[in-house]
Amino acid sequence: MTKSSLKIRVTNGNLIAMGPGKADLLEAIDTNGSISAAAKQMSMSYRRAWELVDVMNKCFKQPLVLSSPGGQHGGGAQLTEFGYLILKTYRDLVAKAEIATSAELELINAHLNLPE
């Protein structure tokens, strides 16, 4: 039986500065060393991944990802130290929220018509 889950998004005005998908993208960029490879791993277009990175970089006072264009010598992307800090802080925030809300989420789950 599938259970519902808590999803936390951090907004900056009308933009989503950080959320579960963006955190996953940051981890994929860290693992793969490029936005293109991260997008491929996540089954999303390069354009969509680049747009998400651009939004994150614009929402924060410092960039989370630095990238260099491809070409003959190859490009790549990497998380900045600040990017690692924001990613870890977001993952910690989610973990704490899941612990703090577990009883309420269990009660809600008990009353949902969840798909099998």
pLDDT at 70: 66
Taking 70 as the threshold, does the pLDDT of residue 39 lie above it? yes
What CATH number has the domain bearing residue 85?
1.10.10.10
What is the rounded distance in angstroms from the CA atom of residue 37 to the CA atom of residue 11?
Answer: 27
Q: Per-residue pLDDT for 16 more than 60?
A: yes
- CA dist., res. 48 & res. 52, Å (int): 6
At residue 84's C-alpha, the angle toward residues 8 and 51, to 5°, is: 65
3-state secondary structure the chain: CCCCCCCCCEEECCEEEECHHHHHHHHHHHHHCCHHHHHHHCCCCHHHHHHHHHHHHHHCCCCCEEEECCCCCCCEEEECHHHHHHHHHHHHHHHHHHHHCHHHHHHHHHCCCCCC
What range does the domain containing 36 cover?
11-96
4 occurs within a structural domain: no
Name every residue whose Cβ is closer than 8 Å to that of residue 27 and which is 6 or more positions away in sequence.
87
Quick check: is 1 in a domain? no
Higher per-residue pLDDT: 3 or 20: 20
Q: Is residue 107 part of a domain?
A: no
Alpha-carbon gap, residue 94 to 84, rounded angstroms: 15
Confidence (pLDDT) at 71? 60
Can you tell me the mean pLDDT for 8-16? 97
What is the pLDDT at residue 74? 64
Q: Please check whether residue 58 lies inside any domain of the structure.
A: yes
